[in-house]
Amino acid sequence: MDFRLLLTTFIMIFIAELGDKTQLATLAFAAKNNSRLAVFAGSACALILTSLLAVLSGSFINRVLPVNYIRMGSGVMFVILGLWMLLLSGTK
């Protein structure tokens, strides 16, 4: 196992998740419910599953597209989703 990659991935994902909607939703569930262990287990399982889906998707896409296209595509998607949330978040 590549421990340097493991540590880099851990640090980047940990920093990215701080203050994220997922963390805030987990905080709200824990504040509202008495079973903090159930909230932790549900949250941890959801994060593990989404990470598994991301790794499998990334492995598949990597076989089809060059890495620079994947980086550009994810950057474009990030900007589009950010603009969408900014511009349409207050409308119903």
Q: How many CB atoms lie within 10 A of CB 23?
A: 13
- Is residue 6 pLDDT above 90, yes or no? yes
Specify whether the CB–CB gap between 62 and 70 falls below 8 A: yes
pTM: 0.68
In this prediction, residue 45 carries a pLDDT of: 96
Give pLDDT tens digits for 9-61. 999 888 888 888 888 899 999 999 999 999 999 999 999 999 999 999 989 99
| CA 8 – CA 35 distance, rounded (Å) | 32
In this prediction, residue 82 carries a pLDDT of: 87
In this prediction, residue 92 carries a pLDDT of: 58
